[in-house]
Amino acid sequence: MSARRSLLCVALIAVMGMIAAGCDWTMAGYDAANTKFNPEKNLTPGNVGGIYRHWVANVQGAKSSRSTPAVTTIDNTKYVFVQTANGYLEKRRASDGASIWAIWDGNAGSGNWGTSTSSPAIVTPKGTSQTQVVVGSMDGHVYSFDARGGGELWQFPTGASDFAPVVSSPVITPGGNVIVTMGEKIGTPGYFGQRTFYAIWRFDPRNGQENGIWGLGSTINSGGYEASSVAVDPANGMVFAGMPGFDPDYISNQSGVLALYNADGSFQGAWQSTWNNSYVGVSAAPAVAGGRVFVMSTTGLRELNEANGGVMYGPTGANSQFSSPAVAGDTVYVGTDNGYTKGFLVNGLTPRWTSGQNVDAYGSPVRGASPVITGQSYPTLDRYLVFNSFGNGDVKAFDADALGTTSAIWTRQDHGTGKGGLAVSGGVIYVQGDDGQLRAFGL
């Protein structure tokens, strides 16, 4: 392992690992920076072949969901929280999938594309011992529930109409705030010809009070209620969000990435990096690491300078509007619309490896799901594992240290695992399928 890579690993573990509360996967991107890298050492390329399905549980609503499970330990017991397609937030015991409680949160999504994408996030506000589950709803609210008993703690109405859904996933900042994005349709209900107002909200989880809002303005959008979740640099508190505004009939300068200074009391604009191309949609959350912002779009992966938003490298041509980048060490990993998982070196986006194509995938690895990373780190060898799920129901593991074209070193074919994002915690992989089932795989 190179000295440069070792230093990157040390920095990532020191900064990111502390924030994410050990091996718990407490929000959609694992940490506020959205790296999707859990540096635990349970799973390695050497033992991944022993992974089997621990359990499968029927959650509320046998419809598609792109929500990522949240996993946390409460009173020495590990639990999994999932948002279902028919508007329920569920708590299940991680050891066997047993249901603890299920609460309807007003998210009466139809289960169609674009609904039920908000993933739960876990937060214990500073100065309290009350663990909360925060989630966005299709009814235009952000809700917080007591993670132990399920009672509602607070709710906040981000919009008053049926077309102001919160489909992004809450992010818990290092300072303990909750940040979400909201997209509000303005015009006749439907997918085309509507203008969309995007806003970024910040809440104090102790009481649900809004303590910062930023409006992204009116953009053209044809893609439903897509709104990127944010990524937050833990070193300086800067907030980054994708801007998905695009339309086949118009050219909008609102496609790209927005950066905000996360100042106390209000947001302050830092920069916008926009690309005047009518098909450059950014609906997946960016990832931030080492002073760089990584963003996936319909034209490929870009590496931006965090300080000013300048495009340093890319686009790569490995494209997906819905796959969010994952970062570990000196490599950024993405899924593509045509069934590949790829790794690119940070600081240049030089191709490092690519998976064989999943020829049975009907689209991207999963619309809205993204690669996740786990494995050993410094001072041992970088034996990282990259997991991804695919639209045909496959969940696959790849050796992150492979070069060139690589094959999966573990594959699980399970009908229905083609929509939800992956969470890895304690050596167990959790994924919510499009058949109304939650699955757990591990050693």
- Averaged pLDDT score across all residues of the chain: 77
Would you state the pLDDT for residue 311? Answer: 92
Tokens of 422: 């992956």
What is the C-alpha to C-alpha distance for residues 397 and 409, in angstroms, rounded to an integer?
6
What is the C-alpha to C-alpha distance for residues 147 and 70, in angstroms, rounded to an integer?
11
The predicted model gives 71-75 an average pLDDT of: 96
What is the C-alpha to C-alpha distance for residues 415 and 392, in angstroms, rounded to an integer?
7
Question: With 70 as the cut, is the pLDDT of residue 143 above it?
Answer: yes
The predicted model gives 327-342 an average pLDDT of: 87
Question: With 50 as the cut, is the pLDDT of residue 361 above it?
Answer: no
Highest averaged pLDDT of the listed ranges 25-34, 53-62, 335-344, 391-400: 25-34
Check residues 197 and 79 and name the one with the higher pLDDT.
79
In which band, very low, low, confident or very high, does the pLDDT at 108 lie, cut at 50, 70 and 90?
very low
Would you state the pLDDT for residue 260? Answer: 84
Question: With 80 as the cut, is the pLDDT of residue 232 above it?
Answer: yes
Question: With 90 as the cut, is the pLDDT of residue 429 above it?
Answer: yes
In which band, very low, low, confident or very high, does the pLDDT at 111 lie, cut at 50, 70 and 90?
very low
Would you state the pLDDT for residue 99? Answer: 95
DSSP helix, strand, coil percent of the chain (3-state; round to 5): 5, 45, 55
Question: With 90 as the cut, is the pLDDT of residue 278 above it?
Answer: no
State what percent of residues in the chain have pLDDT above 70.
71
Check residues 268 and 43 and name the one with the higher pLDDT.
43
Residue 148, judged by CB atoms within 10 A of its CB (0-12, 13-18, 19+), counts as middle
The predicted model gives 151-158 an average pLDDT of: 87
Would you state the pLDDT for residue 33? Answer: 96
Question: With 70 as the cut, is the pLDDT of residue 428 above it?
Answer: yes
Question: With 70 as the cut, is the pLDDT of residue 347 above it?
Answer: yes
Single-letter amino acid code for the residue at 213: I
Q: Which of 37-51, 244-258, 392-406 bottoms out in mean pLDDT, i.e. has the lowest?
A: 244-258
Question: With 90 as the cut, is the pLDDT of residue 226 above it?
Answer: no
The model scores a pTM over 0.85: yes
Would you state the pLDDT for residue 253? Answer: 46
Question: With 80 as the cut, is the pLDDT of residue 342 above it?
Answer: yes
pLDDT tens digits along 178-224: 887 765 544 444 444 444 556 788 888 998 888 877 765 544 343 44
State what percent of residues in the chain have pLDDT above 90.
33
Domains and CATH numbers, the chain: 3-442 (2.140.10.10)
What does 297-365 look like in DSSP terms, one character per residue?
Answer: ETTEEEEEETTT--EEE---S---SSPPPEEETTEEEEE-TTS-EEEEETTTTEEEEEEPP-TT-SSSS
Contacts of 157 (CB under 8 A, 6+ apart): 140, 141
Would you state the pLDDT for residue 245? Answer: 56
Q: Which of 3-12, 190-199, 229-238, 336-345 bottoms out in mean pLDDT, i.e. has the lowest?
A: 3-12
What is the C-alpha to C-alpha distance for residues 237 and 215, in angstroms, rounded to an integer?
18
Question: With 60 as the cut, is the pLDDT of residue 162 above it?
Answer: no
The predicted model gives 278-290 an average pLDDT of: 78
Strand partners, 25: 71
Would you state the pLDDT for residue 22? Answer: 45
How long is the chain? 443
Check residues 132 and 261 and name the one with the higher pLDDT.
132
The predicted model gives 334-353 an average pLDDT of: 89
Would you state the pLDDT for residue 247? Answer: 44
Highest averaged pLDDT of the listed ranges 156-165, 264-273, 353-362: 264-273
Check residues 363 and 299 and name the one with the higher pLDDT.
299
Check residues 18 and 198 and name the one with the higher pLDDT.
198
Question: With 60 as the cut, is the pLDDT of residue 139 above it?
Answer: yes
The predicted model gives 105-118 an average pLDDT of: 51
What is the C-alpha to C-alpha distance for residues 235 and 10, in angstroms, rounded to an integer?
15
